[in-house]
Amino acid sequence: MLRSSIRMRIPPQKRSEALLILVSLSEQVQFEKGCISCRLYCGVEDEDVILLEELWSNFEDLHRHLRSHRYRELLLVVEMAAEPPEIRFDTIAQTSGMETIEQARTAPVG
């Protein structure tokens, strides 16, 4: 699984326009082949921060997405940022859930 994330600081005067574009894009991207999820987050402590997170099942589908018209639109929003964005692509080898918490909390201490 692959995780793509873009964290950007959008100036207040461009925030509405950026969110309008990003909401539309995220709604469309989630239906692309290989997309596991596409989520958009807005900062609580810092309202200028927007994070777009995508999960992809494989490199082929992610690369197709990176070459798409939709991604070009996303890059136009990135250009609105007040400072260079944080862009990351992470490979996730394994995931777990509640069982990890249960295991940690029930393991002998010491």
Share of the chain above pLDDT 90, in %: 95
Mean pLDDT (whole number) for 2-7: 98
* Cβ atoms < 10 Å from Cβ of 83: 9
Distance CA 84, CA 80 (A): 10
| pLDDT band per the 50, 70, 90 thresholds, residue 109 | confident
Q: What pLDDT score was predicted for residue 107?
A: 83
Give me the CATH topology for the region 2-106.
Answer: Alpha-Beta Plaits (3.30.70)
- Residue 54 backbone phi and psi in degrees, to 5: -125, 140
What global pTM score does this model have? 0.88
Q: Which residues are within 8 A (CB) of 4 and not within 5 positions of it... i.e. 6 or more apart? A: 53, 54, 55, 56, 62, 88, 89
How would you classify residue 30: left for phi > 0, otherwise alpha for psi between -120 and 50, otherwise beta?
alpha
Mean pLDDT (whole number) for 38-61: 96
